[in-house]
């Protein structure tokens, strides 16, 4: 069997994830000796050891870590080729990939999905949520053709089209029971005493951004806004939250807002797209999203 066959890549991925020939054999409906033999054959063909053998488990060697990472990428690409081949056979257009900054309003995402599929019965819309430079990273690396809600502090060069979306307002929020809630106005010195709830920048190639933190301030990392809200409501720390997300929570009294001298300034946002990705799908979406006023009203406004 060729070393780079899909079956071999799946086998290696399974062994690496489970850390055991016997566990991999059970999942793949094979006997452990067959798994061990296949791995040994692969290692002989590659001329390197991929796994270290221990009494009851196996672990990846440095070469194995690299190879399995590549294998997983190949498997993803194989799956995309398979799906795209099916789309071509069925007369589908190419998919449109859209990166959404996590600050945009969730209700508009649902509306976009509904309206896209009402407009096209032969295309696919693929949406991803990104944080900070992750939006630009998706565009520059080709994982997305258009981005909604990107900061206009553009970290990359390229042939991009732009459309302003206005500014995003931020609110410094905390639980009503949090010690900082007793202060009318926070200062940099006072805010440093409390952890800040932060979201991880999803950029892969571009430098990650970390905002809002004061020097030597502890941060608590969460994956998304629902988790950030839960942590703030639990009194674990402070958070700068998009005002359109904070407004209903402030109105309900589950969070309170406090001002801060020289706090987080409004963030200019934009719609950005790769000009070389011109297609009927792209033209429809750009027309659908509208001008600056419509973009701000529908995606960023409180």
Quick one: tokens of 42?
């692969």
Alpha-carbon distance 241 to 246, whole Å?
Answer: 6
Alpha-carbon distance 288 to 294, whole Å?
Answer: 10
CB of 260 closer than 8 Å to CB of 187: yes
pLDDT at 215: 78
Domains of the chain and CATH, by start? 6-89 (1.10.10.10), 96-167+268-299 (3.40.190.10), 170-265 (3.40.190.10)
**What confidence tier does 216 reach under pLDDT thresholds 50, 70, 90?**
confident
Tens-digit pLDDT profile for residues 25-80: 999 999 999 999 999 999 999 999 999 999 989 999 999 999 999 999 999 889 87
Q: Is the pLDDT of residue 90 over 80?
A: no
**What confidence tier does 91 reach under pLDDT thresholds 50, 70, 90?**
low
Sheet of strand 267-274, all strands in order from the earlier edge strand to the far edge: 125-130, 96-101, 146-151, 267-274, 160-168
pLDDT at 40: 93
- Which pTM was predicted? 0.70
Tens-digit pLDDT profile for residues 246-291: 999 999 999 999 988 777 888 899 999 999 888 889 999 999 999 9
Q: Is the pLDDT of residue 105 over 60?
A: yes
Tens-digit pLDDT profile for residues 225-239: 999 999 999 999 999
154 burial (CB, 10 Å; 0-12 / 13-18 / 19+) is: middle
Alpha-carbon distance 275 to 145, whole Å?
Answer: 8
Q: How many CB atoms lie within 10 A of CB 115?
A: 14
Q: Which residues contact 186 (CB under 8 A, 6 or more apart)?
A: 172, 180, 258, 259, 260, 261, 263
Quick one: tokens of 6?
């899909």
pLDDT at 302: 78
Average of per-residue pLDDT values in the chain: 90
Q: Is the pLDDT of residue 205 over 90?
A: no
Quick one: tokens of 8?
């071999």
pLDDT at 263: 75
Alpha-carbon distance 6 to 4, whole Å?
Answer: 6
């Amino acid at each position: 069997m060729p070393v780079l066959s899909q079956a071999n890549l799946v086998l290696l991925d399974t062994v690496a994830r489970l850390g055991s020939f016997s566990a991999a054999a059970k999942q793949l409906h094979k006997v452990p000796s067959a798994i061990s033999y296949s791995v040994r054959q692969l290692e002989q063909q590659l001329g390197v050891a991929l796994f270290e053998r221990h009494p009851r488990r196996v672990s990846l060697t440095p070469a194995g870590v690299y190879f399995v990472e590549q294998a997983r990428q190949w498997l993803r690409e194989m799956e995309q080729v398979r799906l795209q081949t099916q789309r071509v056979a069925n007369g589908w257009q190419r998919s449109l990939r859209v990166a959404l900054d996590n600050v945009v309003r969730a209700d508009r995402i649902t509306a976009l999905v509904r309206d896209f599929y009402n407009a096209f019965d032969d295309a696919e819309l693929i949406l991803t949520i990104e944080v900070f430079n992750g939006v630009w990273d998706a565009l520059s690396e080709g994982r997305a053709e258009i981005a909604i809600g990107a900061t206009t502090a553009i970290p990359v060069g390229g042939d991009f089209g732009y459309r302003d979306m206005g500014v995003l307002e931020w609110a410094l929020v905390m639980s009503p029971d949090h010690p900082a809630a007793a202060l009318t106005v926070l200062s940099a010195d006072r805010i440093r005493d409390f952890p800040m709830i932060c979201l991880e920048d999803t950029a892969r190639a571009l430098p990650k951004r970390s905002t809002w933190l004061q020097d030597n301030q502890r941060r608590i990392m969460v994956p998304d806004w629902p988790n950030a809200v839960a942590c703030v409501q639990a009194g674990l720390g402070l958070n700068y939250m998009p005002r359109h997300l904070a407004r209903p929570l402030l109105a309900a009294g589950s969070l309170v807002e406090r001002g801060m001298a020289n706090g987080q300034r409004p963030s200019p946002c934009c719609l950005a797209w790769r000009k070389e990705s011109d297609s009927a799908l792209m033209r429809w979406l750009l027309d659908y999203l509208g001008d600056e006023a419509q973009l701000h009203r529908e995606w960023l406004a409180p």
